[in-house]
Amino acid sequence: MLVSLEWLKEYVDVDISPSELAEKLTMVGLEVKSLTSKSTKGLDKVLVGKIVSQKKHPNADKLTICEVDIGTGENLSVICGAPNAKVGMLSPIALIGAELPNGMKIEPVTIRGVSSYGMLCSERELNISDDHSGIMDLPTDLKIGMSISQALGLDDIVMEIELTPNRSDCLSIIGIAREVSAITGNPLRKPIIKFQEGATKASDLTSVTINDPDLCPRYSARLVLG
**Tens digit of pLDDT for each residue in 170-192?**
999 999 999 999 999 999 999 88
What is the rounded CA–CA span in Å between residue 5 and residue 28? 18
| pLDDT at residue 39 in the model | 65
- For 69, other C-beta atoms within 10 Å of its C-beta total 19
The domain locations on the chain are: 2-39+154-184, 46-152
What is the rounded CA–CA span in Å between residue 65 and residue 87? 11
CATH topology agreement for domains 2-39+154-184 and 46-152: no
Q: Has residue 36 got a pLDDT over 70?
A: yes
Rounded to two decimals, what is the model's pTM? Answer: 0.63
Specify the range with the lowest mean pLDDT, choosing from 37-51, 61-75, 173-187: 37-51
CATH 3.90.180.10 fits 2-39+154-184, yes or no: no
Q: Which fold has domain 46-152?
A: OB fold (Dihydrolipoamide Acetyltransferase, E2P) (2.40.50)
115-133: pLDDT as tens digits? 999 999 999 999 888 999 9
Averaged pLDDT for residues 81-101: 95
| pLDDT at residue 186 in the model | 97
Helix, strand, coil shares, percent, the chain, to 5: 20, 25, 55
| pLDDT at residue 153 in the model | 80
| pLDDT at residue 210 in the model | 93
| pLDDT at residue 122 in the model | 95
| pLDDT at residue 44 in the model | 82
Q: Is 41 exposed, middle or buried (0-12, 13-18, 19+ CB in 10 A)?
A: exposed
